[in-house]
């Protein structure tokens, strides 16, 4: 399916096309280029996409956006980053889709994925979404640029680690519905406090289209702050949570073997469904999703079916079996990122798991001056989860090591390679293993090594 012609790209970006061509996709990562794609040669401090034009076209690119003339089909522009933003704006301008923006300190990507699945259940193939965690100043315009013109819905994730970033992103996205999943300590090195984080998250509402809906966590201590941020821009403010007075409220949440059964009050209606992911944090996410589906005019019944089928994402809750001599162990992959709130939530999930519990916990970065107390504060949830063996990774985990002394068996190691060695030395059939830490630690490599055991076993 055609996404853009060369003429449309040139018109959107103000560039000059060297030839006629048609593209079916857009990327700025040469490693991701596939047949029919438009490759945008971004330039940065450490790399220049123009160096990879040959690779992009060898992999099947149909055209490129460049700021330097080249021999391949292209649109020549003065600034390729500005062209990416312009293409994103053009895609947003031409669509009649209902746009939903998602931000929050925790739960952004999972909520985005589950919400897209819930909307897509009613009209398969008609919902566009951000891929991976493409939620920053390059990822958001790319996600917009990839949106087919005939999309019925679009769910776009927006992230930030400094004040003002969401103002710029929401101005591009211009959502009809804007969600804040939660406000928690994350990137606190760049903020004066959690209240400042709430203010930065509240920037998402400034981009709301006229008549738009703001969706806000009722149980958050920053609820009123978020409501105040939304009020100048939102025609409708909808709260979600478990507390009395929430507009979308969990009346019951009963964990079970197939997930968590939720009975929810949605305005004057009641909705019962099961969320396929474990943990009370997913109950909160599910309520936000229900509120968004309702605000976007989606089908709540079909959304409930989609939530029951929800599987974990790699790095964000995916479960797998580790093949070992004599049996298997269960792996909870939370290796993509970590902050104090998400650590506590996933440790609570581990607590409900049968078998001996092992927690591989990597340091949480960008927490600023309060980092030692945030790390040592994990001692209580680690102990409450019944962790038999903790493997602490990174220098910033030292305060937690000190707090756990005499309470939980642990080892403190420097990096992901040492964490893998320590885990493999103790891993046994029947174990439940949680792996979680800031992405820069590379704990995903430990996950890959463990899950490859299963692939190798199947191959035999």
Termini Cα distance of the chain:
40
CA 370 to CA 377: how far, in whole Å?
11
Q: Strand 269-275 to strand 213-217: parallel, antiparallel, or no bridges (unpaired)?
A: unpaired
Kindly give the confidence (pLDDT) of every residue in the chain, 460 residues in length, as a single tens digit, with 9 standing for 90 and above: 799 999 999 999 999 999 999 999 999 999 999 999 999 999 987 889 999 999 999 999 999 999 999 999 999 999 999 999 999 999 999 999 999 999 998 889 999 999 999 999 999 999 999 987 788 999 999 999 999 999 999 999 999 878 899 999 999 999 999 999 999 876 667 777 889 999 999 999 999 999 999 999 999 999 999 999 999 999 999 999 999 999 999 999 998 766 899 999 999 999 999 998 888 889 999 999 999 999 999 999 999 999 999 887 788 888 889 999 999 999 999 998 888 988 998 999 899 899 999 999 999 998 988 899 999 999 999 999 999 999 999 999 999 999 999 999 999 999 999 999 999 999 999 999 999 999 889 999 999 999 886 544 444 4
CA 263 to CA 252: how far, in whole Å?
5
What H or E segment, with its residue span, contains residue 5? strand 4-5
- Specify the 3-state DSSP secondary structure of 158: coil
Predicted structure pTM score? 0.83
Question: What contacts 24+ positions apart, CB below 8 Å, involve 112-115?
Answer: 112/155, 112/156, 112/157, 113/313, 114/285, 114/286, 114/289, 114/306, 114/307, 114/310, 115/155, 115/288, 115/289, 115/292, 115/293
Task: Report in angstroms the alpha-carbon separations of 221 from 45, 184, 199, 455.
Answer: 40, 10, 13, 45
Predicted local confidence at residue 453, as pLDDT: 66
Question: What contacts 24+ positions apart, CB below 8 Å, involve 256-260?
Answer: 258/308, 259/308
What H or E segment, with its residue span, contains residue 285? helix 280-295
Predicted local confidence at residue 457, as pLDDT: 46
At 446, phi and psi to the nearest 5? -65, -45
Q: At what angle do helices 223-230 and 194-201 cross, to 10 degrees?
A: 30
Predicted local confidence at residue 455, as pLDDT: 46
DSSP 112: H
CA 232 to CA 132: how far, in whole Å?
32
Predicted local confidence at residue 153, as pLDDT: 98
Q: Which domains does the chain have, with CATH numbers?
A: 4-83 (3.40.1390.10), 95-308 (3.40.1190.10), 318-459 (3.90.190.20)
CA 87 to CA 145: how far, in whole Å?
6
CA 168 to CA 135: how far, in whole Å?
12
Residue-wise pLDDT for 241-270, tens only, equals 999 999 999 999 998 766 899 999 999 999
């Amino acid at each position: 399916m055609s996404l853009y012609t060369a003429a449309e790209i040139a018109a959107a970006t103000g560039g000059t096309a060297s030839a006629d061509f048609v593209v079916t996709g857009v990327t700025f990562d040469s490693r991701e280029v596939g047949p029919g794609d438009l490759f945008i040669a971004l330039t940065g401090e450490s790399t220049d996409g123009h160096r990879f034009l040959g690779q992009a076209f060898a992999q099947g690119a149909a055209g490129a956006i460049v700021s330097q003339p080249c021999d391949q089909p292209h649109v020549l522009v003065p600034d390729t980053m500005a062209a990416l933003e312009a293409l994103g704006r053009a895609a947003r301008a031409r669509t009649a889709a209902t746009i939903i923006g998602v931000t929050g300190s925790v739960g952004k990507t999972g909520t985005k994925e589950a919400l897209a699945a819930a909307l897509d259940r009613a009209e398969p193939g008609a919902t566009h979404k951000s891929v991976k965690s493409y939620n920053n100043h390059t990822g958001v315009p790319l996600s917009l640029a990839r949106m087919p013109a005939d999309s019925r819905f679009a769910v776009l994730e927006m992230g930030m680690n400094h004040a003002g970033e969401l103002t710029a992103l929401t101005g591009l996205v211009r959502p009809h519905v804007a969600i804040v999943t939660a406000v928690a300590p994350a990137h606190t090195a760049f903020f004066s406090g959690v209240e400042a984080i709430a203010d930065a998250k509240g920037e998402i509402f400034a981009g709301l289209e006229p008549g738009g809906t703001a969706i806000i966590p009722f149980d958050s201590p920053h609820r009123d702050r978020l409501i105040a941020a939304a009020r100048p821009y939102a025609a409708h403010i909808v709260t979600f949570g478990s507390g009395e007075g929430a507009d979308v409220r969990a009346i019951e949440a009963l964990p079970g073997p197939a997930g968590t059964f939720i009975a929810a009050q949605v305005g004057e209606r009641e909705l019962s469904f099961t969320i396929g992911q474990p943990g009370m944090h997913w109950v909160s996410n599910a309520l936000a999703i229900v509120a968004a589906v309702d605000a976007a005019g989606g089908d709540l019944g079909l959304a409930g079916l989609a939530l029951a089928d929800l599987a974990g994402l790699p790095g964000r809750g995916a479960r797998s079996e580790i093949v070992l001599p004599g049996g298997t162990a269960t792996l909870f992959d939370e290796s993509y990122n970590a902050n104090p709130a998400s650590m506590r939530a996933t440790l609570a999930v581990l607590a409900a798991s049968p078998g001996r519990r092992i927690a591989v916990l990597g340091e949480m970065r960008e927490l600023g001056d309060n980092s030692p107390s945030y790390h040592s504060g994990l001692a209580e949830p680690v102990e409450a989860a019944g962790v038999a063996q903790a493997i602490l990774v990174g220098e910033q985990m030292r305060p937690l090591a000190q707090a756990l002394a005499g309470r939980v068996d642990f080892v403190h190691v420097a990096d992901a390679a040492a964490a893998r060695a320590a885990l493999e030395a103790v891993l046994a059939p029947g174990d439940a293993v949680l792996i979680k830490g800031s992405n820069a630690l590379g704990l995903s490599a430990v996950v890959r090594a463990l899950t490859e055991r299963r692939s190798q076993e199947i191959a035999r």
